């Protein structure tokens, strides 16, 4: 990690941003600068003035800021996400970091069709304002980096889970949350949809490898292993501290399966060891259980 002497994280108070900041702070000789919307509001271009004396060729610049779908998948959230990326793109016209890293999302592939061989070459199909904003952000920031001669890393992140995540989105985090709060877990349909889930430590480890190595361009940050939500519930049942009720609720969307081919990712990060889902779930549940007892 010694390639860059400084790291700037826009969105350092979010789930990914916090984990990335902690990781970088442990690196010897690395200075970490974190900014949230309270200190740098990316919807206002003048807010980037705070970074003018920080960002230089020895800096890795991460853009992890976003208005997530949980806050509303609306035209207004699209505008906010697009404005944030545009602000960074304008900043790059006059300030050149050593590398720029954008946390995008596999949502750009859409969530309305089954595909069991998704690669970085798969055609995108954004079917939400959030997905459309992420794809627009990829294009805007990629164009700005090419124009400025800045190495660009575009990371499409899958469903990330782990200690510290408070979003409680459908999947591992919602299941753990309702297990502890209500002694219940809810599944749409029979929970048969297959999805890829990546443990937070693995996301940070892969980001480290790609950022502080020579990697550039587009990568899907996924584990390459897809399981059904029902399988996740079965894993949780094996480690749960108490019994829980499993509730099946009507589906809101058609049954869709997704599977990723991670050949490109493994070529860039050979030998990377992924955390087994069972182990990641246990660490997550243990952390949330300890936190709930401490309250």
CA distance 243 to 109: 37
pTM metric for this prediction:
0.95
Same fold, 6-159+198-221 and 163-195+225-256+275-294: no
pLDDT averaged per 10 residues, the chain (length 295): 82 95 88 93 92 95 88 88 95 96 97 92 95 96 97 97 90 96 96 97 97 96 98 97 96 93 97 97 94 68
CATH of 6-159+198-221, one of 3.40.50.2300, 3.40.50.720, 3.10.129.10, 1.10.10.10: 3.40.50.720
CA distance 240 to 177: 12
Q: Domain segments of the chain: what residues? A: 6-159+198-221, 163-195+225-256+275-294
3 state SS of 208: helix
How far does CA 14 lie from the centroid of its chain?
10
Q: Which CATH topology does 163-195+225-256+275-294 take?
A: UDP-galactose 4-epimerase; domain 1 (3.90.25)
CA distance 140 to 124: 16
Diameter over CA atoms, the chain:
58
Predicted pLDDT of residue 30: 87
Backbone φ and ψ of 291, nearest 5°: -65, -40
The length of the chain in residues reads 295
């Amino acid at each position: 990690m010694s390639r860059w002497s400084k790291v700037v994280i826009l969105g350092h108070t979010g789930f990914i941003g916090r984990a990335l900041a902690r990781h970088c702070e442990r690196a010897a000789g690395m200075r970490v600068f974190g900014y949230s919307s309270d200190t740098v509001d990316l919807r206002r271009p003048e807010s980037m003035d705070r970074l003018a004396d920080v960002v230089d060729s020895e800096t890795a610049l991460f853009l992890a800021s976003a208005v997530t779908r949980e806050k509303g998948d609306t035209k207004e959230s699209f505008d906010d996400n697009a404005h944030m990326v545009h602000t960074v793109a304008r900043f790059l016209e006059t300030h050149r970091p050593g590398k720029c890293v954008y946390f995008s999302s596999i949502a750009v592939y859409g969530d309305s069709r089954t595909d069991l061989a998704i690669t970085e070459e798969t055609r995108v199909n954004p079917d939400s304002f959030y997905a459309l904003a992420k794809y627009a952000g990829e294009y805007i920031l990629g164009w700005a980096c090419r124009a400025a001669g800045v190495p660009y890393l575009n990371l499409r992140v899958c469903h990330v889970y782990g200690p510290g995540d408070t979003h409680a989105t459908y999947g591992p985090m919602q299941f753990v949350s309702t297990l502890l709060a209500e002694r219940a877990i809810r599944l749409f349909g029979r929970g048969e949809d297959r999805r890829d889930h990546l443990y937070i430590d693995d996301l940070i480890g892969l980001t480290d490898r790609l950022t502080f190595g020579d990697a550039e361009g587009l990568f899907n940050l996924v584990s390459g292993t897809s399981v059904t939500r029902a399988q996740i519930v079965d894993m949780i049942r094996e480690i749960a501290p108490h019994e829980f009720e499993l509730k099946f609720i009507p589906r809101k969307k058609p049954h869709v399966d997704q599977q990723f081919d991670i050949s490109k990712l493994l070529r860039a990060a050979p030998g990377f060891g992924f955390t087994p889902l069972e182990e990641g779930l246990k660490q997550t549940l243990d952390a949330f259980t300890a936190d709930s007892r401490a309250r």
